[in-house]
Structure 1
Amino acid sequence: MPSPPDHPRDRRADASLRSRRRAVEIAQLVSRTVGLLCTVLYMSGVTGYGPDRLSGDMTRACELGLVLMTAANLLGLRNALRPGSRWYQPSSAVQAVFDTVTIIAFVTVSERDFAQTTWPLLGLSISIAAIRHQLTGAILAYLATSVAYLLLVPDLTDAAFVLGIGAMTAIIAGSQSTAFARQLTALQETRRALQHQATHDGLTGLPNRAHLEEYAARLKGGALGVLLLDLNGFKQVNDTHGHAAGDRLLHEIGGRLTTAAGPSAVAGRLGGDEFLILLPGAGRAGATATCERVRDAVRRPVGLGDGVEVTVGVSIGVALRPAGGETTLDCLTAEADAAMYREKHDRRAA
């Protein structure tokens, strides 16, 4: 059953995932910035960090790396600022591709044109892909770097060693990242389940008193209608058919109340056979119309199994707060409670 929209705890449900994503992006921003500086120094030739004279292919590889690292950093900055965006994963994949292409270009050209051992950098692209996209990303990065090394590096003396190290890196980093992601997912699901238990009624699935109070607090100053409901005849169902039948009745009534109250309303269970419906922005006419829909819904027969059907009624008390009013939910509930018992008294008197 639906719960109040935009619950603040619901918005924090993926906080740990967003935190991890933000940490990944910040780490990559820092490492790429270091990479940009190192590339500039390498191209300058003033520090002895690189060859005295770069080949044309190496110059183009470095220029490509500068462009791709800058573009990846821009994407990374956006992801760090909006880690919960639906575009996070596609953007993350693009960054992994840019990083892999940058490293492949630098390694294959330097291994071919200069007496430098740079192939260990291939493991960096595999690790980056593993962090971002678990085992699948690690394997794809390994395949890309391995194929590029075999096709673009003329001296394949160390090929078996390079491919073996890459495979081990992909398996270890990818499997560990996948295991961590699964653990994080399990923790998130457990937290959501515990949060739902803390804010919803276990029998009907409706929001409980604490959830309703928190939701109502966010409507402070706005018009609010409160309907307090008490089922008529529920005790007889319990006494005649047993508590299991009574629970089945409450569950069915809870679903009917959610439907009858309408999409903008929030129906919850206070306990026993008492329910509360919050009507944001409602006036007298809206509350009256909702009461009629609720009465019609509750009065329909409820099947208890084995061909047994029961019918119950409902007493409803209404309290209204105008726009700009400061009346709290507790006061409105007390007012609705008094109105509900007056209705019960009038019904019995009649």
Structure 2
Amino acid sequence: MRKAYVDDSLLSRRRTVEAAGLVSRTLGLILTAVYMSGVTDLAPAVLSSDMTTACRLGIVLMVAADLLALLARRRPDGSRYQIWSALQVLLDTTTIIAFVVVSERDFEQTTWPLLGLSISIAAIRHQLLGALLTFVATSAAFIVFVPDSPDTAFVLGTSAMTAIIAGSQSTAFARQLTALQETRRALQHQATHDGLTGLPNRAHLDEYAGRLTGGALGVLLLDLNGFKQVNDTYGHAAGDRLLHEVGVRLTAAAGPGVTAGRLGGDEFLVLLPGAGAGAVAATCERIRDAVHRPADLGDGIVVTVGVSIGVALRPAGGEAGLDALTAEADAAMYREKQTRPAA
């Protein structure tokens, strides 16, 4: 199952929801134990067998829900998070329905407002749809198991309003959070990628290379031959289209596991983690062939450019950083420009 993108703000919200669930259920377990003990005025002097069963069932279900909450809090970005969350809503709703039904039927206690709690829990976790489904479940249970209650109409009306208000607010918040996530991802992409070609920029390449410390690394520095003539002859718009096309070809020619980026102007940088001299040489030839193919820039403009490539290799265990390797590749590229005919 493909895991959806989850950013830090959503992870924090999910952990908070799970922590709140753990605390509230722990309080519920304590109150249930006190209720069953009969040492306070919270419960009738003698509990019916149905209420005893409901309390015991509630304890089991709350413990099970807490275990799910612990799993969900540990893995808020996991592919099963929504399933764990939905199961918690089911267990909490079943617990509350059992307690409300038995207490309303067997004792003179007004406990139906607790149904709104289960609706609110569902709204927080699963927005309007979750709130409405829980409203239907709690209302149906109340009608079926407490058929003679004089409060039925009031219970249904109050629960419906709770579902609509809480569910709508939760849905609106979720949409706002999604919009903020998309904006954050867009800003992050802008900060780490070149706006013209879509390739990683120098900052992204630096960060990526920093994670490859100590491993073998091939670095290719590319400079287009003939790009200035395209700009001078056909204008900067045509030059921009050429750079974009080169970026597309470069990514395809570099192959999987290779990161290609743009430094600026008509300079590109390619990082080949774990590559040796043979793999680097093969990649260089693929790149030369790809770049040298005629490029259709639109408006009847077709151009052919070449590329000069400088190579730097770091063996496994080497300490050279990206700056040093780029400088070495730049010197090699300059030497190639002096000895290899430009396109």
Shift in Å at residue 40 of structure 1? Answer: 1.2
**Do structure 1's residue 100 and structure 2's residue 93 form an aligned pair?**
yes
Q: Which residue number corresponds to residue 125 of structure 1?
A: 118
Identity %: 75
Structure 1 unmatched ranges of 5 or more: 1-10
Give the 4+ runs in structure 1 shifted more than 4 A.
none
- Find the aligned partners of 1:216 and 1:201 in 2 and give their Cα distance: 17
Check if 1:298 corresponds to 2:307: no
Mapping of 1:5-44 within 5 angstroms? 14-44=7-37
Where does 1:1-350 land on structure 2 (aligned, <5 Å)? 14-348=7-341
The RMSD of aligned alpha carbons is: 1.5
- Corresponding pairs, count: 340
Q: Deviation of residue 265 (structure 1)?
A: 0.6
Number of the residue aligned with 1:4: none
State the distance in 2 between where 1:277 and 1:347 align: 20
Secondary structure at 1:275 match in 2: strand
Q: Secondary structure in 1 aligned to 2:340?
A: helix
Verify the 8 A CA contact 1:315 1:343 in the aligned structure 2. Answer: yes
**Counterpart-to-counterpart distance in 2, 1:184 and 1:348:** 55
SS of alignment partner, residue 251 of structure 1: helix
C-alpha distance in 1, partners of 2:215/2:50? Answer: 67
Q: Spell out, residue by residue over 1:39-77, the C-alpha distance to the aligned partner (whole angstroms, 9 max, x if none).
A: 111112122321111111111111111111110000001
Q: Distance in 1 between matches of 2:123 and 2:342?
A: 74
**TM-aligned CA deviation for residue 306 of structure 1:** 3.0
Q: 2: CA distance between counterparts of 1:321 and 1:348?
A: 28
Residues 86-108 of structure 1: per-residue CA shift (max 9 Å, x gap): 11001100000110011001001
Give the 3-state SS of the residue equivalent to 2:313 in structure 1.
Answer: strand
**Cα distance in 1 between the residues matched to 2:87 and 2:180:** 28
Label 1:123 to 1:34 Cα distance change in 2 as closer, same or farther (>3 A).
same
Q: 2 CA distance for matches of 1:47 and 1:349?
A: 93
Quick one: structure 1 residues 335 and 87, their matched pair in 2 at CA, closer, same or farther if it must change by over 3 Å?
same
2: CA distance, partners of 1:91 / 1:328:
45
- Does structure 2 conserve the Cα–Cα contact (< 8 Å) formed by 1:13 and 1:192? no
Output the CA distance in 2 between the equivalents of 1:349 and 1:299: 11
Using the alignment, how far apart are the partners of 1:306 and 1:333 within structure 2?
A: 37
Q: 1:12 to 1:169 in 2, by over 3 A?
A: closer
8 Å contact kept, 2:306–2:342: no
Task: Name the SS for the 2:219 alignment partner.
Answer: strand
Q: Distance in 1 between matches of 2:327 and 2:147?
A: 85
Matched AA of 2:233: T
Q: Using structure 2 for the length normalisation, give the TM-score.
A: 0.97
Contact 2:127 2:168 in 1 (8 A): yes
Does the CA-based 8 Å contact 2:93-2:118 persist in structure 1?
A: yes
Give the TM-score taking structure 1 as reference length.
0.95
Other structure's SS at 1:276 match: strand
Deviations 1:110-147 (Å, cap 9, x if unpaired)? 00000000000000000000000001111111111111
Does the aligned pair in 2 maintain the 1:112–1:154 contact within 8 Å? no
User: CA offset at residue 264 of structure 1?
Assistant: 0.9
